[in-house]
Structure 1
Amino acid sequence: MERIERQELSAILLAAPGWAPVGLTMPDKHMRERAADTLAATIIEKLEGVPAPDINQLRLPL
């Protein structure tokens, strides 16, 4: 396994959705688990080189 530098990990965490770090502090167990899963997924995506979404793609409302 390759070692991750502190600066790289910091940049990845800052790129995560804004609610995820806050979600780790919530009293609700399920919210903390979802937040941790989102942060882990963000780290894995960035380290594996999954391409970022195309910034030219328009978002459609759900």
Structure 2
Amino acid sequence: MEQVDSLWVAQSILLAPGWARVALTAPNERLREQAAVELAQTIVRAIEHPPMVVDHRQMILPL
């Protein structure tokens, strides 16, 4: 497994649904747990489907 960059994980958290980020501080325990699961799923999806790194020096040729 590749090493995960902490900046990349932070960006993934920021791209998670807003309700999940806000709900982590909710007084309702069930809502906090749902938010934590949503954030964890967002991070796992980001790890499983890393962004493509595009080399801008490479010409894009039509197929």
Q: State whether TM-score is above 0.5.
A: yes
Q: TM-score, normalised by structure 2?
A: 0.71
TM-score (normalised: structure 1):
0.72
Does 1:39 pair with 2:42? no
1:44-59 maps to which residues of 2 (within 5 A)? 44-49=44-49
Which consecutive unaligned segments of at least 5 residues does structure 2 have? 51-63
Aligned-pair identity (%): 42
Larger radius of gyration: 2
Structure 1 residue runs of 5 or longer lacking an equivalent are 51-62
Give the total of aligned pairs: 50
- Where 2:27 maps in the other structure, the secondary structure is coil
Give the RMSD, CA atoms, in angstroms.
1.6
SS at match of 1:12: helix
User: Which stretches of structure 1, 4 residues or more, deviate above 3 A after TM superposition?
Assistant: none
